[in-house]
Amino acid sequence: YFSDELSAKIRNKRPLNLPKIDSKLQVKQGNFILFERTRLIYDVDLRSLGVADPDGDVLINPNSILELQFSVDAPWGASSSTKNSTVHRDGKRVIWTLQPGQQNHIETAFWMPNPIGIGTVIIIAIVAAGIYFKNQQLPPAAKPAV
C-alpha cells in the first residue's frame, strides 16, 4: 500500500524549475620532479540567478539574497591572476566572492609537492647510501695471484 501511494505522489510531482548555471573548469598541471604547478581557470555564469520580469527588468537582486564564495587552499598558498576587489586572502587560502547575476572568471596558480618525485629521490638516496656504506665496510677484493 505504501509503495503504491508513494509512487503515485512521486509521479504527480512537478519538476523543479531551477536556473541553468553554465560553468567551465580547466585544470592544467606541470610536473617539475619534486613539485607540481597547478593552474586553475574557472568560468561560471550566474546571470540566470536574477529574477526578471518579461520586460527584462530585474525584480529581485540576487546580491541581496546570495553570498557565493569559491576558495582554493594550497599548502604554500595560491596566487590569483584575477585582480579585482572580490579576491581576498586568509592565510594560505585565497577566497573569491562570486557575483550573482554576472559572469565570473577565476584564475589561480599554486604549487603542490609531488609525492612520486619525492619518493623517488628518497629511494635513490637510500640506495646510494647503501652502496657507499657497503664499499666502506668491505675490505678491497684480493687480486688473484698470477
The mean pLDDT of 2-16, rounded to a whole number, is: 69
12 within domain boundaries: no
Domains contained in the chain, number: 1
- The CATH number of residue 105's host domain is 2.60.40
8 within domain boundaries: no
pLDDT band at 141 (very low <50, low <70, confident <90, very high): low
1 within domain boundaries: no
- What region, left, alpha or beta, does residue 44 occupy, with left being phi > 0 and alpha being psi -120 to 50 degrees? beta
Please tell me the number of Cα atoms within 13 Å of 134 on its side-chain side. Answer: 7
112 within domain boundaries: yes
% of the chain with per-residue pLDDT over 90? 44
Grid coordinates given for 127: 640506495
83 within domain boundaries: yes
Q: Which domain holds residue 115?
A: 17-137
pLDDT band at 7 (very low <50, low <70, confident <90, very high): confident
Say if residue 141 is exposed, middle or buried (CB neighbours under 10 Å; 0-12, 13-18, 19+).
Answer: exposed
Residue 84 CA to residue 28 CA, distance in Å, equals: 23
